[in-house]
Amino acid sequence: MLNVLNLDVEWLRECLMLEDFKTFVILDKCIKIGFFDILESPKAVEEISNSLNLNSRIVKAICEFFKSKGFLEEEGGRFMPSEISRTFFSRSSPFSLLDLFEMKEEEIENWLNIDRALKGEILRKESEFFKKRIIYLAKLALLKDLKIVFKISEYEEFRNAEKLLDLGGGHGLYAYAFTLLNGKLEATVFDLPEVVRTARDFLKPFSPERVHFVDGNFFKDDLGSGYDLVFSSFNPGGKRAELIPKIHRALKIGGIYVNRQYFPREFFTIEDLEWNLWGFEGLKKGFKAYTFEGDLSFEEYIDKLVENGFQILDLFGETYRVIVAKKLDQNI
């Protein structure tokens, strides 16, 4: 018994208690039934209960819980959404996370119906997966990932840049954020045709005047030239050797290449397991999470950059790695 009490089982406790999952479920349901939408004008518990046809005791418990999480504010016995909720939980907000919650539901459904996955029966079309994935990544970017653009904006090369290529840029939010931080910057998002169509629609509410879109396949098509900066974030081709010379040619001498990627960790994680529960109909995945057949390791990728005429300026990040490299010469 004493041996058991001395074990570090906090991770197992969290897993079994399902605390985050419980929060997800109640938040997901409340967003769907318009809980936060009806609170555009402050309401008491009974008013909320009557509007949504819910049990008043449970509504009171939900309000108290959401208030403790910072999702609701209370004044004189009436509840109203916090700034976080108005931004992310209201259906009318351009930043609504409703579709992100729906995608998470699909992820949970895959785990609950794991029998098919264990037989290798879950296959997805590459184009459809990445089309939906860009919206998912866009919403995640709004929550935390856009901070990368502020880090890159500190570089002198960025401050002087006039032309940027967001390679495999998906939703285009990074390109748009870069143009906000550099008033003379013109940004081009390069991605698959179906992804570009989705991205254009997604960015419309932002009226991005200096963000342009080019559709194509970066493994087969020319990337253009004369760029001061090439940015690549979680691009499926971002660990492939054959793209490095194309990126080098696309840059001006002295231009910088910023590549943010998940490189495999030495130990095997739950993400690695989940990555193997489904496959693409055509694209061949690697065994470790977010890798594909032909990907280089972190060390191999750095070596290839140097071989192809890049100087490594900076390396940072833990959960993911960010490589900042400068083009030294023209003839590679």
CATH number of the domain that residue 20 is part of: 1.10.10.10
In angstroms, the CA 141 to CA 93 distance is 16
The rounded distance, in Å, linking the Cα atoms of 70 and 82 is 7
Q: How far is CA 137 from CA 115, 169, 170, 181, 321, in A?
A: 27, 11, 9, 21, 17
Do 192 and 44 fall into the same domain?
no
For residue range 124-171, what is the model confidence (pLDDT) as tens digits? 877 777 777 777 777 777 666 778 888 999 999 999 999 999 999 888
Together in a domain, 168 and 315: yes
Q: What is the pLDDT of residues 170-220, one digit of tens each?
A: 889 899 999 999 999 999 999 988 888 888 888 888 888 899 999 999 889
pLDDT at 5 over 60: no
Q: Are 89 and 96 in contact (CB under 8 A)?
A: yes
Domain at 227, CATH number: 3.40.50.150
If asked whether residues 63 and 148 sit together in one domain, one would say no
Please indicate, yes or no, whether residues 180 and 297 belong to a single structural domain of this protein: yes
Per the structure, the complete domain to which residue 194 belongs is given by 144-264+284-327
Burial of 13 (0-12, 13-18, 19+ CB in 10 A): exposed
pLDDT band at 228 (very low <50, low <70, confident <90, very high): very high
Whether residue 151 sits in one domain with residue 296:
yes
194 and 288, same domain (yes or no): yes
Please indicate, yes or no, whether residues 62 and 193 belong to a single structural domain of this protein: no
Residue 108 — pLDDT band, cuts 50, 70, 90? confident
| Structural domain ending residue among the three candidates 94, 116, 132 | 94
37 lies in some domain = yes
| DSSP-derived secondary structure letter, 177 | H
Structurally, how many domains does the chain consist of?
A: 2
251-272: b or e for each residue (b if 16 or more CB lie within 10 Å)?
bbeebbbbbbbbbbeeeeeeeb
In a domain, 48, yes or no: yes
Q: What is the pTM of this model?
A: 0.79
Q: Does residue 125 fall inside a structural domain?
A: no
* Percentage of the chain modeled with pLDDT above 90: 50
User: Residue 241 contacts by C-beta under 8 Å, 6 or more apart in sequence?
Assistant: 294, 296, 300, 301, 304
